[in-house]
Amino acid sequence: MKVFSGNANRALAESVCEYLGLPLGKASARRFADQEIFFEIRENVRGEDVFIIQPTAYPANDHLMELLIMIDAFRRSSARRITAVLPYFGYARQDRKAGPRTPISAKLVANLITEAGADRILTLDLHAGQIQGFFDIPTDNLYAVPILARDAKEHHNTDKLMVVSPDTGGVVRARSLAKRLDAPLAIVDKRRDRPGESEVMNVIGDVSGHECLLIDDIVDSGGTLCNAADALLGNGANSVTAYITHGVLSGGAVARVTSSKLTELVITDSILPTPAVQGAHNIRVLSTAGLIGEAINRTASERSVSSLFD
Protein backbone atom coordinates (compact mmCIF):
# COMPACT_ATOMS: atom_id res chain seq x y z
CA MET A 1 0.00 0.00 0.00
CA LYS A 2 0.97 3.64 -0.40
CA VAL A 3 -0.21 6.70 1.54
CA PHE A 4 -0.49 10.14 -0.03
CA SER A 5 -1.55 13.54 1.27
CA GLY A 6 -3.06 16.70 -0.10
CA ASN A 7 -2.40 20.13 1.38
CA ALA A 8 -5.20 20.03 3.97
CA ASN A 9 -3.31 18.31 6.81
CA ARG A 10 0.09 17.04 5.73
CA ALA A 11 1.31 16.91 9.34
CA LEU A 12 -1.34 14.29 10.19
CA ALA A 13 -0.47 12.27 7.08
CA GLU A 14 3.21 12.26 8.08
CA SER A 15 2.30 11.07 11.59
CA VAL A 16 0.14 8.29 10.14
CA CYS A 17 3.01 7.19 7.89
CA GLU A 18 5.34 7.21 10.89
CA TYR A 19 2.91 4.89 12.69
CA LEU A 20 2.74 2.59 9.66
CA GLY A 21 6.49 2.64 9.08
CA LEU A 22 6.00 3.87 5.52
CA PRO A 23 7.33 6.91 3.64
CA LEU A 24 4.72 9.47 2.57
CA GLY A 25 4.00 9.08 -1.12
CA LYS A 26 5.70 11.47 -3.54
CA ALA A 27 3.21 13.87 -5.08
CA SER A 28 2.56 17.59 -5.35
CA ALA A 29 -0.55 19.74 -5.52
CA ARG A 30 0.04 23.28 -6.69
CA ARG A 31 -1.86 26.16 -8.28
CA PHE A 32 -1.87 27.86 -11.63
CA ALA A 33 -1.94 31.67 -11.64
CA ASP A 34 -5.76 31.65 -11.74
CA GLN A 35 -5.83 29.28 -8.71
CA GLU A 36 -6.72 26.16 -10.70
CA ILE A 37 -5.34 23.09 -8.94
CA PHE A 38 -2.72 20.91 -10.61
CA PHE A 39 -1.82 17.56 -9.05
CA GLU A 40 1.04 15.30 -10.05
CA ILE A 41 1.99 11.83 -8.76
CA ARG A 42 5.76 11.46 -8.73
CA GLU A 43 6.07 7.70 -8.33
CA ASN A 44 4.57 4.56 -9.85
CA VAL A 45 1.22 3.53 -8.31
CA ARG A 46 0.08 0.94 -10.86
CA GLY A 47 -1.60 -1.92 -9.00
CA GLU A 48 -1.11 -0.27 -5.59
CA ASP A 49 -3.56 0.02 -2.71
CA VAL A 50 -3.64 3.83 -2.37
CA PHE A 51 -4.81 5.83 0.64
CA ILE A 52 -5.34 9.60 0.25
CA ILE A 53 -5.44 11.56 3.52
CA GLN A 54 -7.34 14.80 2.97
CA PRO A 55 -9.79 16.39 5.45
CA THR A 56 -12.13 18.78 3.65
CA ALA A 57 -11.83 21.54 6.22
CA TYR A 58 -11.32 25.29 5.68
CA PRO A 59 -11.10 26.31 2.91
CA ALA A 60 -13.56 23.47 2.35
CA ASN A 61 -14.17 24.01 -1.36
CA ASP A 62 -10.45 24.15 -2.22
CA HIS A 63 -9.62 21.02 -0.23
CA LEU A 64 -12.62 19.14 -1.63
CA MET A 65 -11.66 20.02 -5.21
CA GLU A 66 -8.08 19.02 -4.50
CA LEU A 67 -9.30 15.64 -3.21
CA LEU A 68 -11.42 15.02 -6.33
CA ILE A 69 -8.50 15.84 -8.63
CA MET A 70 -6.19 13.58 -6.63
CA ILE A 71 -8.63 10.66 -6.85
CA ASP A 72 -8.95 11.16 -10.60
CA ALA A 73 -5.16 11.21 -11.01
CA PHE A 74 -4.74 7.91 -9.14
CA ARG A 75 -7.60 6.29 -11.05
CA ARG A 76 -6.00 7.27 -14.36
CA SER A 77 -2.64 5.98 -13.08
CA SER A 78 -4.09 2.48 -12.64
CA ALA A 79 -4.09 2.27 -8.85
CA ARG A 80 -5.67 -1.05 -7.82
CA ARG A 81 -7.84 0.51 -5.08
CA ILE A 82 -8.29 4.09 -3.91
CA THR A 83 -9.40 4.85 -0.36
CA ALA A 84 -10.25 8.46 0.47
CA VAL A 85 -9.31 9.04 4.12
CA LEU A 86 -11.36 12.00 5.37
CA PRO A 87 -10.51 12.70 9.03
CA TYR A 88 -13.03 15.54 8.73
CA PHE A 89 -15.88 15.31 6.21
CA GLY A 90 -16.91 18.82 5.18
CA TYR A 91 -20.57 19.61 4.39
CA ALA A 92 -21.63 16.91 6.87
CA ARG A 93 -23.89 19.37 8.71
CA GLN A 94 -26.08 19.64 5.61
CA ASP A 95 -27.30 16.05 5.91
CA ARG A 96 -31.02 16.66 5.43
CA LYS A 97 -33.47 19.25 4.14
CA ALA A 98 -33.50 21.68 7.05
CA GLY A 99 -36.15 23.76 5.30
CA PRO A 100 -38.01 24.04 2.02
CA ARG A 101 -35.96 24.52 -1.16
CA THR A 102 -32.63 23.65 0.49
CA PRO A 103 -29.99 21.13 -0.66
CA ILE A 104 -28.68 17.97 0.97
CA SER A 105 -25.07 18.93 0.34
CA ALA A 106 -23.57 15.95 2.19
CA LYS A 107 -25.17 13.62 -0.36
CA LEU A 108 -23.93 15.76 -3.25
CA VAL A 109 -20.35 15.66 -1.93
CA ALA A 110 -20.62 11.89 -1.42
CA ASN A 111 -21.68 11.54 -5.06
CA LEU A 112 -18.77 13.70 -6.24
CA ILE A 113 -16.20 11.63 -4.35
CA THR A 114 -17.70 8.37 -5.62
CA GLU A 115 -17.89 9.54 -9.24
CA ALA A 116 -14.30 10.81 -9.09
CA GLY A 117 -13.22 7.20 -8.64
CA ALA A 118 -12.86 6.43 -4.92
CA ASP A 119 -13.36 2.75 -4.04
CA ARG A 120 -13.64 3.16 -0.26
CA ILE A 121 -14.15 5.90 2.34
CA LEU A 122 -12.48 6.07 5.73
CA THR A 123 -13.69 8.89 7.96
CA LEU A 124 -13.83 9.94 11.60
CA ASP A 125 -16.88 10.85 13.72
CA LEU A 126 -19.38 11.74 11.02
CA HIS A 127 -21.79 14.46 12.11
CA ALA A 128 -24.68 12.11 11.42
CA GLY A 129 -24.51 8.34 11.07
CA GLN A 130 -26.84 8.23 8.09
CA ILE A 131 -24.19 9.94 5.94
CA GLN A 132 -22.56 6.50 5.58
CA GLY A 133 -25.60 5.60 3.49
CA PHE A 134 -25.00 8.56 1.17
CA PHE A 135 -21.99 6.72 -0.28
CA ASP A 136 -22.54 3.88 -2.74
CA ILE A 137 -19.12 2.44 -1.83
CA PRO A 138 -17.87 0.81 1.41
CA THR A 139 -17.56 3.41 4.18
CA ASP A 140 -15.87 3.00 7.55
CA ASN A 141 -16.69 5.59 10.20
CA LEU A 142 -14.09 5.64 12.99
CA TYR A 143 -14.83 6.93 16.49
CA ALA A 144 -12.62 9.21 18.56
CA VAL A 145 -14.28 8.20 21.86
CA PRO A 146 -11.49 5.74 22.85
CA ILE A 147 -8.89 8.51 22.45
CA LEU A 148 -11.02 11.00 24.39
CA ALA A 149 -11.80 8.51 27.16
CA ARG A 150 -8.14 7.63 27.64
CA ASP A 151 -7.22 11.31 27.93
CA ALA A 152 -10.08 11.99 30.35
CA LYS A 153 -8.88 9.18 32.63
CA GLU A 154 -5.36 10.62 32.60
CA HIS A 155 -6.38 14.20 33.40
CA HIS A 156 -9.46 13.93 35.62
CA ASN A 157 -10.67 12.33 38.83
CA THR A 158 -13.07 9.73 37.43
CA ASP A 159 -15.01 9.57 40.72
CA LYS A 160 -16.37 13.09 40.17
CA LEU A 161 -16.87 13.05 36.42
CA MET A 162 -20.18 13.63 34.67
CA VAL A 163 -20.45 13.43 30.88
CA VAL A 164 -22.69 16.06 29.30
CA SER A 165 -24.21 16.19 25.84
CA PRO A 166 -24.58 19.81 24.62
CA ASP A 167 -27.83 18.89 22.86
CA THR A 168 -30.29 16.02 22.58
CA GLY A 169 -28.85 14.95 19.22
CA GLY A 170 -25.51 14.03 20.76
CA VAL A 171 -26.80 11.75 23.50
CA VAL A 172 -25.60 8.53 21.82
CA ARG A 173 -22.04 9.88 21.59
CA ALA A 174 -22.13 11.13 25.18
CA ARG A 175 -23.52 7.82 26.43
CA SER A 176 -20.64 5.97 24.75
CA LEU A 177 -18.06 8.10 26.58
CA ALA A 178 -19.99 7.86 29.87
CA LYS A 179 -19.99 4.07 29.60
CA ARG A 180 -16.22 3.95 29.11
CA LEU A 181 -15.68 6.27 32.08
CA ASP A 182 -18.39 4.66 34.23
CA ALA A 183 -19.80 8.16 34.74
CA PRO A 184 -23.35 9.57 34.91
CA LEU A 185 -24.89 11.47 32.01
CA ALA A 186 -26.55 14.88 31.72
CA ILE A 187 -27.99 16.82 28.77
CA VAL A 188 -28.11 20.51 27.92
CA ASP A 189 -31.40 21.39 26.24
CA LYS A 190 -30.88 24.27 23.83
CA ARG A 191 -32.81 26.20 21.23
CA ARG A 192 -31.11 27.29 18.00
CA ASP A 193 -32.86 30.13 16.19
CA ARG A 194 -30.27 30.57 13.42
CA PRO A 195 -27.21 28.56 12.25
CA GLY A 196 -24.18 29.39 14.41
CA GLU A 197 -26.30 30.78 17.26
CA SER A 198 -27.75 28.93 20.23
CA GLU A 199 -29.49 29.72 23.49
CA VAL A 200 -29.18 27.36 26.44
CA MET A 201 -32.58 26.67 27.93
CA ASN A 202 -32.22 23.97 30.57
CA VAL A 203 -29.86 21.40 32.11
CA ILE A 204 -31.33 17.90 32.40
CA GLY A 205 -29.62 16.11 35.27
CA ASP A 206 -28.01 17.09 38.60
CA VAL A 207 -24.50 18.36 37.81
CA SER A 208 -23.86 19.88 41.24
CA GLY A 209 -20.40 19.02 42.59
CA HIS A 210 -19.27 17.26 39.40
CA GLU A 211 -16.44 17.85 36.94
CA CYS A 212 -18.42 18.07 33.71
CA LEU A 213 -17.11 16.79 30.39
CA LEU A 214 -18.96 18.25 27.41
CA ILE A 215 -18.60 16.00 24.35
CA ASP A 216 -19.52 16.80 20.75
CA ASP A 217 -18.27 16.07 17.24
CA ILE A 218 -17.77 19.65 15.97
CA VAL A 219 -16.94 23.00 17.52
CA ASP A 220 -17.33 25.83 15.02
CA SER A 221 -18.22 29.24 16.46
CA GLY A 222 -17.86 27.99 20.05
CA GLY A 223 -21.09 29.67 21.12
CA THR A 224 -22.85 26.44 22.09
CA LEU A 225 -19.95 25.26 24.23
CA CYS A 226 -19.50 28.56 26.04
CA ASN A 227 -23.24 28.89 26.74
CA ALA A 228 -23.39 25.30 27.93
CA ALA A 229 -20.41 25.86 30.25
CA ASP A 230 -22.13 28.91 31.77
CA ALA A 231 -25.33 26.91 32.31
CA LEU A 232 -23.51 23.96 33.92
CA LEU A 233 -21.50 26.18 36.26
CA GLY A 234 -24.70 28.05 37.09
CA ASN A 235 -26.22 24.72 38.13
CA GLY A 236 -23.41 23.93 40.54
CA ALA A 237 -20.78 22.13 38.43
CA ASN A 238 -17.24 22.39 39.81
CA SER A 239 -15.62 22.73 36.38
CA VAL A 240 -16.39 22.23 32.69
CA THR A 241 -14.03 20.69 30.13
CA ALA A 242 -15.03 20.14 26.51
CA TYR A 243 -13.93 17.15 24.42
CA ILE A 244 -14.59 17.74 20.71
CA THR A 245 -13.40 15.67 17.75
CA HIS A 246 -13.27 18.32 15.03
CA GLY A 247 -11.96 21.78 15.94
CA VAL A 248 -13.34 23.88 13.07
CA LEU A 249 -13.06 27.01 15.26
CA SER A 250 -13.95 29.58 12.60
CA GLY A 251 -14.08 33.36 12.95
CA GLY A 252 -13.61 34.54 16.53
CA ALA A 253 -14.12 31.09 18.05
CA VAL A 254 -10.63 30.80 19.57
CA ALA A 255 -10.95 34.16 21.31
CA ARG A 256 -14.41 33.17 22.52
CA VAL A 257 -13.09 29.92 24.01
CA THR A 258 -10.04 31.50 25.65
CA SER A 259 -12.20 34.13 27.35
CA SER A 260 -14.89 31.65 28.42
CA LYS A 261 -15.38 29.75 31.67
CA LEU A 262 -14.25 26.50 30.07
CA THR A 263 -11.35 24.98 31.98
CA GLU A 264 -10.08 23.40 28.78
CA LEU A 265 -11.12 22.57 25.24
CA VAL A 266 -9.60 19.30 24.00
CA ILE A 267 -9.76 18.64 20.23
CA THR A 268 -8.11 16.20 17.84
CA ASP A 269 -5.82 16.90 14.90
CA SER A 270 -8.43 15.77 12.35
CA ILE A 271 -8.26 19.39 11.19
CA LEU A 272 -4.85 21.07 11.04
CA PRO A 273 -4.62 23.34 14.12
CA THR A 274 -4.13 27.01 13.26
CA PRO A 275 -1.44 29.14 14.96
CA ALA A 276 -4.22 30.72 17.05
CA VAL A 277 -5.31 27.29 18.29
CA GLN A 278 -1.73 26.26 19.04
CA GLY A 279 -1.16 29.45 21.03
CA ALA A 280 -4.39 29.29 23.07
CA HIS A 281 -3.78 28.63 26.77
CA ASN A 282 -6.84 26.43 27.27
CA ILE A 283 -6.97 24.46 23.99
CA ARG A 284 -5.16 21.13 23.71
CA VAL A 285 -4.80 18.88 20.65
CA LEU A 286 -4.82 15.06 20.70
CA SER A 287 -3.33 12.94 17.92
CA THR A 288 -5.49 10.60 15.83
CA ALA A 289 -2.53 9.21 13.88
CA GLY A 290 -2.51 5.88 15.73
CA LEU A 291 -6.24 5.31 15.23
CA ILE A 292 -6.23 6.27 11.55
CA GLY A 293 -2.98 4.42 10.91
CA GLU A 294 -4.31 1.21 12.45
CA ALA A 295 -7.56 1.52 10.47
CA ILE A 296 -5.54 1.94 7.24
CA ASN A 297 -3.38 -1.06 8.14
CA ARG A 298 -6.43 -3.24 8.78
CA THR A 299 -8.17 -2.06 5.61
CA ALA A 300 -5.10 -2.89 3.52
CA SER A 301 -4.79 -6.35 5.07
CA GLU A 302 -8.55 -7.02 4.84
CA ARG A 303 -9.01 -7.26 8.62
CA SER A 304 -11.85 -5.97 10.77
CA VAL A 305 -11.91 -2.23 11.48
CA SER A 306 -14.96 -2.30 13.74
CA SER A 307 -13.10 -4.52 16.24
CA LEU A 308 -10.99 -1.45 17.08
CA PHE A 309 -13.95 -0.23 19.16
CA ASP A 310 -15.03 -3.46 20.85
The CATH number of whichever domain residue 229 belongs to comes to 3.40.50.2020
* 155 plus 78 within the same structural domain: no
Tell me if 221 is assigned to a ligand binding site.
yes
Select which of 2, 97, 153, 190 is catalytic. Answer: 190
Question: Taking the complete model, does pTM exceed 0.85, yes or no?
Answer: yes
* 216 plus 248 within the same structural domain: yes
Taking Cα atoms as reference points, which of 190, 143, 142 lies closest to residue 164? 190
> In this predicted structure, which of 43-52, 126-135, 240-249 has the lowest mean pLDDT?
126-135
* 217 plus 251 within the same structural domain: yes
Residues 6 or more apart in contact with residue 100 via CB below 8 angstroms: none
* 123 plus 64 within the same structural domain: yes
* 178 plus 112 within the same structural domain: no
Distance set, CA 100 to CA 52, 104, 194 (Å)? 36, 11, 15
For the cut 80, the answer to whether the pLDDT of residue 200 exceeds it is: no
Distance set, CA 137 to CA 111, 193, 272 (Å)? 10, 36, 27
How many domains does the chain contain in total?
2
Sign of the alpha-carbon dihedral angle for 55, 59, 65, 69: negative
Question: Would residue 190 show up in a list of annotated catalytic residues for this protein?
Answer: yes
* 179 plus 56 within the same structural domain: no
133-163 pLDDT, tens digit per residue, is: 999 999 999 999 999 999 999 999 888 899 9
Rounded-to-integer distance, Cα 283 and Cα 265, Å: 5
Tell me if 278 is assigned to a ligand binding site.
no
Task: Give the mean model confidence (pLDDT) for residues 110-139.
Answer: 94
Tell me if 224 is assigned to a ligand binding site.
yes
Q: How confident is the model at residue 309 (pLDDT cuts 50, 70, 90)?
A: confident
Tell me if 36 is assigned to a ligand binding site.
yes
Task: Give the mean model confidence (pLDDT) for residues 258-267.
Answer: 95
The percentage of residues in the chain with a pLDDT greater than 90, rounded to a whole number, is 86
* 46 plus 169 within the same structural domain: no
202-250 pLDDT, tens digit per residue, is: 899 999 999 999 999 999 999 889 989 999 999 999 999 999 999 999 9
* 152 plus 282 within the same structural domain: yes
Q: How confident is the model at residue 276 (pLDDT cuts 50, 70, 90)?
A: very high
* 137 plus 207 within the same structural domain: no
166-182 pLDDT, tens digit per residue, is: 888 889 999 999 999 99
* 199 plus 163 within the same structural domain: yes
69-117 pLDDT, tens digit per residue, is: 999 999 999 999 999 999 999 999 999 988 899 999 999 999 999 999 9
* 42 plus 124 within the same structural domain: yes
Tell me if 34 is assigned to a ligand binding site.
yes
Tell me if 130 is assigned to a ligand binding site.
no
Our separate counts of H helices and E strands in the chain read 9, 14
- Give me the domain span that covers residue 214: 145-287
* 99 plus 52 within the same structural domain: yes
For the cut 70, the answer to whether the pLDDT of residue 197 exceeds it is: no
